[in-house]
Structure 1
Amino acid sequence: MKKLFILLSVVLSMTACTRESDTPDTSTTASWKLGTTTYTQAFAIKQNAGVFVQYLALDRMYSSAELSNNSNSTKTFNGFTLIFKTAPTASARYKIVFKADPTLLAADEMMFSMQDRTLNKSYYSTNSTTTADVQVTSGKIKVIIPNTTVQQEGSATPVTTDASGTFIEP
C-alpha cells in the first residue's frame, strides 16, 4: 500500500507539470565575446569601492580544491568587469570610455575590461561614441555592450580587437 501511495504521488506530480514552449528561455543569458571567443557568465558579483562601483563576471566557479587551499585562483578565470561612478538606479544609456582613474567617470559614463586568461591578456574599453544599454529591474542591472573596439593592456604598440557582451547581475 505504501509503494502504491508513493507511485501515485509521483505520477500525479509529474502530470501536474506543464511546459509552455519548446524554446529555451534565453532572457537571462549573460556572456561576452572577446575577438572570436565567447565566454558564458557563471558567476557575478557587485563590488562597491566607495568612490566607484564595479561589477565582475567570471566564466566559471571555484573548484573545491581551489576553495580548500585558499589559492588566488581568479588568475585562471576569464573575466568581464564593468565600472560605473555610482550603481545605476534607472535604465539609461551610458557612454563607453576609458579613464586612467575610475573616480573621474561622469555619471553617464562607464568603462569595461575583459580578461583572456588562456592567452594571459587583458583588454580595456577605449574612448568611443559607442553606448551601452543599461536596464535596471528590481534594483538589479543588465548591461548590453554592442560590438566595440578594445585595446590590449600593456602592449608597446596598440593591439586592438572587437568585444561585446551582456552582463546580468544575479
Structure 2
Amino acid sequence: MAFPTSGRAFNAGVLTISDKGSRGLRKDESGDLLEGILNENGFSVILRKIVPDRIESIADVLIAWADNDRPQLIVTTGGTGLSPTDVTPQAMRQVIEFEVPGMAEAMRAESLKKTPHAMISRALVGVRKATLIINLPGSPSGAEDNLRVVLPALSHALSKLCGDTADCATVGSKSH
C-alpha cells in the first residue's frame, strides 16, 4: 500500500554495502527488494550501487549522492551489526549533519518484536543537506521490515527537509 505523498514524487537511492556483492559473488536481494518497495510507494529510485564494507567507500558514495545527485532519500542495506566488517554506522557519522534518532529507535523497537538480535543493531538515520539517509539491515527480511516501519513518516519528514513550512501541529488534522 502506497503512503500519501501529498502529490509530490520523491527521488531515492539504494546503496548496498557488501564485500561479496561488490565483487559479484552475491546477488543483491536486499537492494532489489528495497527498490521494489520504494517504487510501490511512490518513490523514483534514481540511484543504485553496491560498495564493499569500507568506511571510505560508503562515505564517498553517500556524500556524492547527497551533495551532487540530491535524492530526497537514501536507504543503505548492510553493515549495521557487530561484525568487524560492519562499518556503515562509522561511515554515516562522517557524513551526516544530524541524526533522526526516533526513526532508528522505531525500527529497533519493531524489530525486537521478532528477534532479540535487534538490540545489537547500530543502524542510524540522519540528514546530509536535504537528504534523509536510513541504514537498514543487510538481510532481505530485516531490510523490508525496517523500511516498512518508517514508511508512514517519510512523506512528512521529506517534505520538511524540502522546505515545507506548514505548521507541524496541523499535519494530519482534518483541517489540513
TM-score under structure 2 length normalisation = 0.29
User: Greater helix percent: which structure?
Assistant: 2
Indicate the structure (1 or 2) with the bigger Cα radius of gyration.
1
Larger fraction in strand? 1
**What is the TM-score with the length of structure 1 in the denominator?**
0.30
